[in-house]
């Protein structure tokens, strides 16, 4: 959950803050892929209000282990998150305390489900941040290398079997989008599925257009998530020449964590900037005008789009990137699914500041209406109550 540098921790953090604001008691057990130091969370007062346990987990998968998994039923990209020390922390917490609800955030923590069932009588919920196997299927389908395609399709097939099996073991399921809900019902889940959108604290998002560089184009996101990496590689490969030598006379800024060193080769002084992780994500977003989301695979709802809308950004996204958001194309977002559509959208935006501002203002209004943390958390608590009465 700390630092707040990606969609997953932002979603969890805002949910906790919403629950606390409405008087509920919260315990968080967090799996940290990298060693977390105190500087990440020392100053956050939310820790004074919750019980917080974080466990560092080694999630590295060597080539040999990945190769061997081809000949077994293992799903290494999920199995790697199970750690006996973290399992003991969870078991101890459940033995020593009574909980009404235990909520799993995503598929990767479901290897701990047996422990919860063994040590707790709480209702157990699953929040699907996306349909995980669909992400891998979409990535596989776009691979030209036949060996990579075969491997990723095999991996997707195993993840699908594991994912469908897990869905049947929960008392309730929360999805972000209609598409994900319909997929899970189609897979035969019997648990009630509730759609609850991503929520944010609107008072954190205070756009100031006086500090915005116009025109400017940007992408913000973790390239450690394969769909982001795939999408931004597609964008740069398709538009590098247009941005540096052609008709798109606009600076492009790429920011986020886990950007490969090879991306330095894309940088062109005065035209394309590879910035890496930024100290203040919202300050970075505020300083730029047009946000791109060239997502070609993946699923669920994109936190960065909701945040960008809250900051009154003019956003150009694929249909897949904007999935789950109740948008209107041309009014509060611009949808572009091909190179030509992206090119035309960017060209129009950089030539018309008034057009960009109007879309950004409408986007903010949409977030205020649909993604307010208090309203969404109230619905979440209603769903909890429904399950507890069942």
Contact 217, 288 (CB under 8 A): yes
Contact 275, 254 (CB under 8 A): yes
Architecture of domain 203-370: 3-Layer(aba) Sandwich (3.40)
Which of 194, 121, 115, 119 is closest to 384 using CA atoms? 194
Domain ranges of the chain: 7-199+372-389, 203-370
Contact 238, 52 (CB under 8 A): no
Exposure on the CB side of residue 8, measured as CA atoms within 13 A: 18
**pLDDT value at 42 more than 50:** no
**pLDDT at 64 (0 to 100):** 58
Average pLDDT, the chain: 91
Tell me the mean pLDDT in the region 360-373: 96
User: Range with the lowest mean pLDDT among 166-175, 194-203, 296-305?
Assistant: 296-305
Q: Model's pTM, two decimal places?
A: 0.86
pLDDT tens by residue, 328-363: 999 999 999 999 999 999 999 999 999 999 999 999
**pLDDT value at 298 more than 80:** no
Tell me the mean pLDDT in the region 214-236: 94
**pLDDT value at 18 more than 50:** yes
Which of 124, 79, 129, 63 is closest to 99 using CA atoms? 124
With b for 16 or more beta-carbon neighbours within 10 A and e for fewer, the 196-221 pattern comes to: bbbbbeeeebebeeeebeebbbbbbb
Q: What is the dihedral of CA 197, 202, 205, 206, to 10 degrees?
A: 150
Q: How confident is the model at residue 168 (pLDDT cuts 50, 70, 90)?
A: very high
**pLDDT at 167 (0 to 100):** 94
Backbone angles phi, psi at 240, to 5 degrees: -60, -45
Per CATH, 7-199+372-389 and 203-370 having the same topology is answered yes
Q: How confident is the model at residue 208 (pLDDT cuts 50, 70, 90)?
A: very high
Contact 158, 75 (CB under 8 A): yes
Tell me the mean pLDDT in the region 223-228: 90
**pLDDT at 45 (0 to 100):** 81
pLDDT tens by residue, 44-96: 788 889 999 989 888 877 665 666 656 666 687 888 899 999 999 999 999 99
Which one is predicted more confidently, 38 or 326? 326
- 7-199+372-389 carries CATH number 3.40.50.80: no
**pLDDT at 59 (0 to 100):** 81
**pLDDT at 9 (0 to 100):** 87
pLDDT tens by residue, 176-194: 999 999 999 999 999 999 9
**pLDDT at 37 (0 to 100):** 45
């Amino acid at each position: 959950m700390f630092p707040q540098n990606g969609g997953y921790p932002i979603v969890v953090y805002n949910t906790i803050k919403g629950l606390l604001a409405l008087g509920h008691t919260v315990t968080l057990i967090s799996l940290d892929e990298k060693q977390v130091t105190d500087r990440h969370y020392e100053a956050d007062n939310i820790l004074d209000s919750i019980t917080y346990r974080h466990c560092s987990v080694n999630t590295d998968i060597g080539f040999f282990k990945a190769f061997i998994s081809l000949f077994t039923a293992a799903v290494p990209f999920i199995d790697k998150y199970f750690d006996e020390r973290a399992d003991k922390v969870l078991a101890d917490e459940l033995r020593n305390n009574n909980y009404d609800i235990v909520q799993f955030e995503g598929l990767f923590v479901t290897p701990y489900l047996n422990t919860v069932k063994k040590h707790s009588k709480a209702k157990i919920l699953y929040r699907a941040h996306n349909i995980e196997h669909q992400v891998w299927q979409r990535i596989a389908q776009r691979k030209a290398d036949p060996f990579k395609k075969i491997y990723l399709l095999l991996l997707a097939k195993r993840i699908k079997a594991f994912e469908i099996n897990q869905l049947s073991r929960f008392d309730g399921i929360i999805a972000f989008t209609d598409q994900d809900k319909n997929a899970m019902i189609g897979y035969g889940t019997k648990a009630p599925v509730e759609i609850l959108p991503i929520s944010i604290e609107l008072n954190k998002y205070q756009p100031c257009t006086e500090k915005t560089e116009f025109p400017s184009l940007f992408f913000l996101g973790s390239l450690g998530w394969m769909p982001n990496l795939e999408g931004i590689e597609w964008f740069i490969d398709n538009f590098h020449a247009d941005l540096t030598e052609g008709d798109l006379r606009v600076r492009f800024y790429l920011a986020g964590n886990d950007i490969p060193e090879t991306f330095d080769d894309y940088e062109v002084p005065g035209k394309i900037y590879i910035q890496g992780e930024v100290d203040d994500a919202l300050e970075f977003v505020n300083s730029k005008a047009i946000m791109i989301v060239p997502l070609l695979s993946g699923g669920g709802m994109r936190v960065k789009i909701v945040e960008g809308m809250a900051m009154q950004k003019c956003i150009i996204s694929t249909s897949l990137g904007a999935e789950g958001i109740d948008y209107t194309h041309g009014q509060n977002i611009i949808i572009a699914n091909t190179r030509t559509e992206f090119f035309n959208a960017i060209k129009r935006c950089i030539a018309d500041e008034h057009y960009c501002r109007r879309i950004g203002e409408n986007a903010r209004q949409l977030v205020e209406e649909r993604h307010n943390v208090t309203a969404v958390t109230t619905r979440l608590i209603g769903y909890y109550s429904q399950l507890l009465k069942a």
